[in-house]
């Protein structure tokens, strides 16, 4: 469960500890995303080297491939992928709702066609709980309906009502006491709907709360407004998770508003496309200015990649289409994000969050 360790004096930023069946997580934390039960290009050992305390996998993708029977015979998802630390599984709701031509939704659940073989499946809140109970992750998420931006208020209302009803059914169906079932707050960019959704889900008393339906195309100011409005209503003794936020500046803004947990595919997606994050901002390492640049990706970084290889070499790997390029860039980006939240935790405990924010963004945005 969650323990609040320190509240920063000048902001809503907070330092905490989340205890799970596979260990403790320091918050704020960043969760690398392993959609198909693997973080692309980064092994579990390397995740551990980077300081990852928790990773995320996706119930939708693992359900389709390799399938629940394989996971069950392996002894659960932790054993299947050889990851001994905490894990969170998303319900797959976002993935299903990202397939508008392949799914039908009603109050009972969602019928969808597999993007792999076209086979039809039907997810209900109960079947999603059964799937995740089988996977055995430490933190699990209920089926929800994510309304994309922009949407009408009527559509957002229907999606919110379904999300609340499905959360209620999920909690009733959840059978494992060693798993923490978080609720997901929806309501699109309509603050009155967000408040109503939060209130009703708080009445159900979940062990943690996630803000869903953000970073789906809306401008950053609307994301921050939603996070601030919902965060003000959430209890201090429960973890707060914003789903899918991934840019460094967005993480900092959300931590300032009291958020504890983040996940995003950005570190590995950008990495395998040749973009790396540094303390001075993003750089596209495959570009010509780095042909004879023998400095590290980030001189301020102490990760294995920055201590070992030069920009020139990594640029060469990308242009030679060597798979090591994707691996090294992804490793560095994962380390960068985990080190960012590590620095945020230190700034919080020292009550110098705003000073750190100004210093970091001053360098990063130049």
Active site amino acids: 90, 263
Pairing of strands 209-211, 240-242: parallel
Provide long-range contacts, Cβ within 8 A and 24+ apart, for 311-315.
311/285, 314/285, 314/290, 315/285, 315/286, 315/287, 315/290, 315/291
Residue 65's contacts (CB-CB under 8 Å, 6 or more residues apart) are 36, 116
């Amino acid at each position: 469960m969650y323990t609040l360790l320190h509240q920063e004096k000048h902001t809503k930023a907070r330092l905490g500890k989340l205890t799970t069946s596979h260990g403790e997580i320091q918050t704020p934390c960043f969760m690398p995303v392993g959609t198909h039960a693997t973080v692309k290009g980064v092994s579990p050992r390397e995740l551990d080297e980077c300081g990852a305390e928790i990773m995320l996998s996706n119930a939708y993708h693992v359900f389709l491939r390799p399938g629940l029977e394989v996971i069950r015979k392996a002894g659960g998802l932790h054993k299947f992928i050889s990851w001994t630390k905490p894990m969170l599984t998303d319900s797959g709701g976002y993935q299903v709702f990202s397939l508008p031509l392949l799914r039908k939704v009603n109050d009972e659940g969602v019928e969808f066609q597999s993007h792999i073989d076209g086979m039809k499946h039907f997810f209900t809140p109960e079947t999603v709980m059964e799937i995740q109970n089988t996977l055995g992750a430490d933190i699990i998420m209920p089926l929800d309906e994510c309304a994309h931006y922009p949407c009408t208020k009527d559509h957002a209302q229907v999606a919110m009502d379904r999300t609340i009803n499905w959360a209620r059914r999920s909690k009733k169906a959840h059978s494992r006491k060693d798993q923490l079932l978080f609720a997901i707050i929806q309501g699109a960019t309509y603050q009155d709907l967000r408040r109503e959704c939060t209130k009703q889900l708080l009445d159900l008393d979940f062990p943690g709360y996630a803000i869903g339906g953000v970073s789906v195309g809306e401008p950053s100011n609307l994301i921050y407004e939603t996070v601030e409005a919902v965060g003000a209503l959430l209890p201090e003794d429960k973890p707060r998770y914003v789903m899918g936020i991934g840019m460094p500046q967005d993480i900092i803004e959300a931590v300032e508003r009291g958020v504890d947990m983040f996940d995003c595919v950005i570190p590995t997606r950008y990495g395998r496309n040749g973009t790396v994050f540094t303390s001075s901002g993003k750089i596209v390492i495959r570009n010509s200015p780095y042909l004879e640049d023998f400095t590290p990706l980030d001189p301020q970084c102490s990760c294995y990649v920055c201590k070992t290889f030069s920009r020139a070499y990594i640029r060469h790997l990308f242009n030679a289409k060597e798979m090591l390029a994707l691996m090294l860039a992804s490793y560095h980006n994962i380390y960068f994000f985990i080190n960012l939240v590590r620095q945020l935790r230190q700034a919080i405990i020292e009550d110098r969050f705003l000073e750190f924010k100004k210093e970091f963004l001053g360098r990063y945005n130049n």
